[in-house]
Amino acid sequence: MKITKRISLCLSFRSAAPLSFRSAAEEPAFSAQADSGFTLIELLIVMSIMLILMALAVPQMLKLKKHANELSAEQTLRTIGQAEISYNSAYPTNGFACPLSALGGDPKSGAPTPQASQLIDPELASSGQKSGYTFSVNCGTKVTINNQDVYTSYEITGVPQAVGKTGDNGYCSDENNIVKIDPTGGTNCTQSIQ
């Protein structure tokens, strides 16, 4: 009997209205304030947590972007090297293409020519820029055959547009199509890619 009285007393106490020291006129205004949303402190805490997370995430994202640019630059150098070999096969009387623009050209403009061989992306050929790097083809040695200059060597370079931001390494390649790097971001490429 005592146990049932205690249970019923506890249940009736829980269902009773909470104790309040406010007057009846103050109670509705207070409950409207309490349900209105987040407090300023809560918002500041959430914002500070977001700022800390961003401070940790942004440098990592920039590092990943820089690494992706470097991988793209290495592959672009190989692509230009393969285009040079194709150009030399297609136009043996010219040798290798000396300006980068000779490897480009718009396929809609007609058949390929030695000045627009359509072997690489026209945007890359005209601007020399891709994924934060600037590419160029430097003329090597040339010989004159039948009153025409024939380039027998070349050097392709790819350097970051902003060293440390778009990439760290400079890349170089020649007619042997072996890519080397310059860790300072220039064109003094002496190290082999590992």
| 145 membership: H or E segment, kind and range | strand 142-145
Report the mean per-residue pLDDT for the chain.
84
Residue 57 falls within a domain, yes or no? no
Which has the higher per-residue pLDDT, 2 or 38?
A: 38
CB 175 within 8 A of CB 141: no
Residue 187 falls within a domain, yes or no? yes
pLDDT given for residue 33 in this prediction? 54
Number of domains the chain contains = 1
Please report, to the nearest 10 degrees, the dihedral formed by the alpha carbons of residues 41, 47, 48, 52 taken in order. 160
User: 59-73, 121-135, 140-154, 177-191 — which is least confidently predicted?
Assistant: 140-154
Position 140 confidence tier, pLDDT thresholds 50, 70, 90: confident
DSSP 105-132: --GGG-S-BTTB---S-HHHHHH-EETT
As a whole number of angstroms, the distance between CA 161 and CA 69 comes to 11
DSSP-derived pairing of the beta strands 133-139 and 154-160: antiparallel
Residue 50 falls within a domain, yes or no? no
pLDDT given for residue 103 in this prediction? 94
Residue 19 falls within a domain, yes or no? no
End-to-end Cα spacing for the chain: 86
Please report, to the nearest 10 degrees, the dihedral formed by the alpha carbons of residues 70, 73, 77, 78 taken in order. 70
Residue 16 falls within a domain, yes or no? no
pLDDT given for residue 9 in this prediction? 47
Query: Residue 10 contacts by C-beta under 8 Å, 6 or more apart in sequence?
Result: none
In this structure, what token pair is assigned to residue 41? 């402190």
Q: Which domain holds residue 105?
A: 63-192
Q: Is pLDDT above 70 for 3?
A: no
As a whole number of angstroms, the distance between CA 150 and CA 92 comes to 8
Position 23 confidence tier, pLDDT thresholds 50, 70, 90: low
Q: Is pLDDT above 90 for 72?
A: yes
